[in-house]
Amino acid sequence: MDSVAARFPNLVEQKLQGGDDFARPAQLHWTIIEGDVDKPFVASELQFWPLPVMHGEDYVCLGFLFGRKARVAYLSDVSRILPRTEHGRPFHSSIRSIYSDSRQLI
């Protein structure tokens, strides 16, 4: 989290100086995923399933699957989907929409 705070200070909670109550930029509530990234977690009362995918050739990052009925997958900066993700139970079952940010069709 320190790395994110150093690179994107406007996205993390900051201590305000006196009189800066209204100068606060948009901030995110961060949920840090610890332990097994193959297990779902709940954030803002919504269940998420982490989806490990490749970012480039040597870096694994996470996409996410969410929703109970209309299941949606969000995959950001993905170069390819790992076989364990593609053939895993949460990814393979009833996805209605995939939103992806990538240089090529995955």
pLDDT in tens, 46-72: 888 888 899 888 888 888 888 877 688
State how far the alpha carbon of 5 is from the alpha carbons of 1, 8, 50, 103, in Å.
Answer: 6, 5, 22, 27
106 residues of the chain, pLDDT tens digit each: 788 778 777 777 666 666 655 555 666 777 777 777 778 888 888 888 888 899 888 888 888 888 877 688 888 888 888 888 888 766 666 677 877 876 666 5
Q: 43, 24, 44, 23: which is closest to 33 by C-alpha? A: 43
Asked if 92 contacts 86 with a C-beta cutoff of 8 angstroms, the reply is yes
Only one residue has tokens 């989806």, namely: 51
Whether the full predicted model's pTM is greater than 0.75, yes or no, is: no
Give the domain ranges of the chain: 1-30, 32-106
Tell me whether strands 71-76 and 41-43 are parallel, antiparallel or unpaired.
unpaired
